[in-house]
């Protein structure tokens, strides 16, 4: 059982020798998370182990972050200038876009190894050979053992960028948990509460720590940022918001397929229609919140929103990249553009296998997708298929 929070906390304190978690606002999210895992997730032995390890990592990192802040209070003065937030819905080309922007050495992405183990913050001088890279590479090498087919769906490498949900794992306000496990009570609460509980301040604090010893222009990517647009533009008024779009039947079906793969290792009770309902609830929450926020804020942030259509981006990625740079007021240098072209040549679609999926497998009809995304489809002149 995961409900003994005191035991989880004691274990993190014992592992680190630290006992200051900072503000106690993480306790309610942690309690809601563990209750949902116990009552709804139907975890098998591996799922229980994985959930415990993920929570334990969050607590350990929180202790280490707080300790670093006490020793280095000036990191709170770090200024984050003109970050780029890739906020498209899941499965709309955001990962490829993130990797392409990572080819520009002036950009600062969140690499998996530092996201998982951020303290001490990496130094520029040793950024490419930090000992944590090899440790993370070893862990990632086991991915296909526990999640066969994962690499056909998602690019992953220790030294490559990934989503910044990991920064919120330490606040226990993270969509990673609802992606890995069926926990609708926690997930639906999270969609409503993510912005209200200082999550983005904590997210920013970790960016400040990380850039204090290895600076650069942040490029961040995560679909959950659709929930946080107002907070993003409050904290970073000069942020560039990149929204990717794709025909929605593919978005829903591909996302359900990915969720099924993630959950299969942690539970022996996989219900595809249940996954369909979870995915539609999440997409509905994301889209509704983002579109309302964008309508309210876009006039106050002219030129800061960039829309990329999936089919256009696949056909001509560099054109879309140039539009992002133009919005940022930055020139895309020829050397960076060449590295982006080289990355594209080395990473064609389907490099690690084909990702096959269909909407009907998850009990979702085309009409349901149309109804859920009616206004979104009209606004961006999108099709279902």
**In contact, 47 and 267? CB cutoff 8 Å:** yes
How confident is the model over 316-373, as pLDDT tens digits?
A: 999 999 999 999 999 999 999 999 999 999 988 655 455 567 899 999 999 999 999 9
What is each CA distance from 220 to 53, 94, 126, 216, in whole angstroms?
25, 10, 22, 12
Which helix H or strand E contains 85, and what residues bound it? strand 84-86
In a domain, 385, yes or no: no
pLDDT band of 7, cuts 50, 70, 90: very high
In a domain, 384, yes or no: no
Structural domain that includes position 373: 5-379
Burial of 56 (0-12, 13-18, 19+ CB in 10 A): middle
Please report the pLDDT score of residue 347 as a whole number. 87
Total structural domains in the chain?
1
Show Cβ contacts of residue 70 under 8 Å, excluding neighbours closer than 6 positions. Answer: 20
Distance, in Å, from the CA atom of 9 to the CA atom of 19, rounded to the nearest integer, reads 9
Return the C-alpha torsion angle 203, 205, 206, 208, nearest 10: 130
How confident is the model over 277-299, as pLDDT tens digits?
A: 999 999 999 999 999 999 999 99
In a domain, 132, yes or no: yes
CATH number of residue 326's parent domain? 3.40.50.300
What is each CA distance from 290 to 190, 218, 224, 233, in whole angstroms?
15, 21, 10, 12
Q: How many residues does the chain have?
A: 385
Handedness of CA 82, 86, 88, 92 (dihedral sign): positive
Distance, in Å, from the CA atom of 210 to the CA atom of 207, rounded to the nearest integer, reads 5
In a domain, 288, yes or no: yes
Q: Is the pTM of this model over 0.85?
A: yes
In a domain, 42, yes or no: yes
Burial of 188 (0-12, 13-18, 19+ CB in 10 A): middle
């Amino acid at each position: 059982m995961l409900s003994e929070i005191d035991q989880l906390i004691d274990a993190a304190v014992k592992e680190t020798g630290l006992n200051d978690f900072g503000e106690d606002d993480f306790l309610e999210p942690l309690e809601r998370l563990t209750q949902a895992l116990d009552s709804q997730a139907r975890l098998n032995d591996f799922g229980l182990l994985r959930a415990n390890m993920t929570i334990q990592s969050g607590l350990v990192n929180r202790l280490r972050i707080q300790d670093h802040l006490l020793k280095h209070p000036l990191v709170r003065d770090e200024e984050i200038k003109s970050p780029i937030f890739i906020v498209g819905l899941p499965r709309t080309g955001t990962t490829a876009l993130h990797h392409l922007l990572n080819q520009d050495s002036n950009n600062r992405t969140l690499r998996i190894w530092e996201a998982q183990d951020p303290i001490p913050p990496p130094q520029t001088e040793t950024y490419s050979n930090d000992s944590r890279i090899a440790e993370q590479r070893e862990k990632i090498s086991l991915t296909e053992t526990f999640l066969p087919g994962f690499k056909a769906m998602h690019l992953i490498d220790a030294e490559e960028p990934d989503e910044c949900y990991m920064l919120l794992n330490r606040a226990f306000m993270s969509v990673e948990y609802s992606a890995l496990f069926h926990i609708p009570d926690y997930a639906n609460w999270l969609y409503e509460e993510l912005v209200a509980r200082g999550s983005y301040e904590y997210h920013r604090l970790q960016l400040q720590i990380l850039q204090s010893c290895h600076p650069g222009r942040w490029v961040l990517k995560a679909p959950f940022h659709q929930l946080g647009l107002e907070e993003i533009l409050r904290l970073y008024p000069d942020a560039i918001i990149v929204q990717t779009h794709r025909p929605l039947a593919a978005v829903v079906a591909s996302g359900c397929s990915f969720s099924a793969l993630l959950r299969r290792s942690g539970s022996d009770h996989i219900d595809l229609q249940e996954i369909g309902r979870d995915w539609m609830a999440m997409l509905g929450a994301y889209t509704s919140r983002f579109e309302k926020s964008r309508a309210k804020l876009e006039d106050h942030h002219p030129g800061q929103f960039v829309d990329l259509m999936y089919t256009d981006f696949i056909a001509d990625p560099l054109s879309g990249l140039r539009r992002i740079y133009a919005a940022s007021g930055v020139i895309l240098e020829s050397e960076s553009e060449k590295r982006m072209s080289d990355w594209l040549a080395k990473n064609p679609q389907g490099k690690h296998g084909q990702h096959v999926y269909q909407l009907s497998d998850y009990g979702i009809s085309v009409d349901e997708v149309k109804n859920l995304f009616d206004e979104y489809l009209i606004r961006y002149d999108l099709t279902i298929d």
